[in-house]
Amino acid sequence: MKKILVTGADGFIGSHLTEALVKKGYKVKAFAYYNSFNSWGWLDTLPKEIIKDVEVFTGDIRDPNGVKEAMKGMDEVYHLAALIAIPFSYHSPDTYVDTNIKGTLNVLQAGRELETSRLLITSTSEVYGTAQYVPIDENHPYQGQSPYSATKIGADRLAESFYRSFDLPISIVRPFNTYGPRQSARAVIPTIITQLLAGREEIQLGSLTPTRDFNFVKDTVNGFIEIAESDKTIGEEINIATQDEISIGQLAEELIRQINPKAQITCDEQRLRPENSEVNRLLGSNEKIMRLTNWKPDYSFEQGLAETIEFFRNHLDQYKSDIYNI
């Protein structure tokens, strides 16, 4: 029975990954962000039969001592802890450098010292910036179009350097846009759904023309696990993508059709990214992950949206739909 540490386990994808690993029979330690409220984030919502089998470690990914302590005795580490909101990175870039770059360095250093057998470093499709060609494969150039994406590029390259310099058995996991239950309202799908479910008939959005390749969270989680279970993925950077795209405008129209056909879309200036920062097209190639692992998407976009809408319908009171969440 492998012992696995998940950093960022209290977050959206991390909580789903923790749940899936427990169900597969692994011994899981969840690294959650320390706070005086004794809150474990989304881990607090997991079924009792799941959370009872999880060892929760609270700390700060920016602290090398705490990170190393959490990683002691672990066979594998899935490193998801990060700051991810792009608008917030515009005015607080220092925190992104500290969390995303230094935090990843802490994991890599501890992994090297402890001789951890596998480390999965979480990247993002935002490192590619606006597509120069599609589908975007792992050889696509990097473009730091926001402070957030720049710090993720830096973290990825640090991970590559530890693989090449010290033979650290890393894999760089690069999900395209993940959505699903438990996602923050700063992301576009929850933003639209929560406004609609709250009864608003003017749905405030930024640019409607960018396209995205959306992964349902359970497919993203399965991608992580399949990458970890394949020896062929060591030293590789691997997309998790559906190889299908939809524009933000089309997405909004579909959700409006399903939830409240009377609603209209309005442009909110504060939700627009600076012109040169907007990533206008993301359409990922999944050829590599399907070649190196047994992964394939199990959920259609329609199935994923239905499950997501149902979650937000039952948890709307946990979201502030009237406030722009950056």
pLDDT, tens only, 238-283: 999 999 999 999 999 999 999 999 999 999 888 999 989 999 999 9
Please indicate, yes or no, whether residues 52 and 63 belong to a single structural domain of this protein.
Answer: yes
Distances (CA, A) of 39 to 35, 58, 62, 194, 314: 7, 10, 19, 23, 21
E strand or H helix that includes residue 18: helix 12-23
Question: What Cα–Cα distance (Å) separates residue 285 from each residue in 64, 99, 175, 214?
Answer: 35, 28, 11, 12
Taken in order 58, 60, 65, 67, is the CA torsion positive or negative?
Answer: positive
* Within-domain flag for 292: no
Contacts of 250 (CB under 8 A, 6+ apart): none
The answer on 132 and 23 residing in a single domain is: yes
Whether 174 maps to a domain, the answer reads yes
Q: Is 128 in the same domain as 200?
A: no
Rounded Cα distance between 222 and 227, Å, is 9
E runs forming strands in the chain? 3-7, 27-33, 54-59, 76-79, 118-122, 170-175, 178-179, 202-205, 211-212, 215-216, 237-240, 246-247, 264-267
Q: Do 201 and 252 sit in the same domain of this protein? A: yes
Question: CB count, 10 Å around CB of 117?
Answer: 12
Round to whole Å and give the CA distance between 80 and 32: 11
Whether residue 289 lies inside any domain: the answer is no
- The answer to whether 166 and 292 have CB atoms below 8 angstroms apart is no
| Residue span of the structural domain in which 39 resides | 3-179+215-240
Q: What is the mean pLDDT of residues 61-78?
A: 98
Evaluate the CA torsion angle 103, 57, 124, 322 in order and state its sign: negative
Residues 260 and 222 grouped into a single domain: no
Q: Are residues 231 and 263 in the same domain?
A: no
CA 135/CA 121 separation, integer angstroms: 22
Domains: count for the chain: 2
For residue 31, the domain's CATH number is: 3.40.50.720
Residue 170 shares a structural domain with residue 205: no
Q: Do 67 and 150 reside in the same domain of the chain?
A: yes
d(CA 186, CA 208): 16
My answer on whether 121 and 34 are in the same domain is: yes
Is there a single domain that holds both residue 252 and residue 166? no
Q: How confident is the model at residue 324 (pLDDT cuts 50, 70, 90)?
A: confident
Judged by DSSP in three states, 260 sits in coil
Q: How far is CA 128 from the centre of its chain?
A: 15
> Based on the domain organization, do 114 and 126 belong to the same domain?
yes
In sequence order, the β-bridge partners of residue 4 are 28, 76
Q: What is the pTM of this model?
A: 0.97
Whether 325 maps to a domain, the answer reads no
Classify residue 323: in a domain, yes or no: no
CATH number of the domain that 269 lies in? Answer: 3.90.25.10
Give per-residue pLDDT as tens, 186-241: 999 999 999 999 999 999 999 999 999 999 999 999 999 999 999 999 999 999 99
Residues 128 and 275 in one domain: no
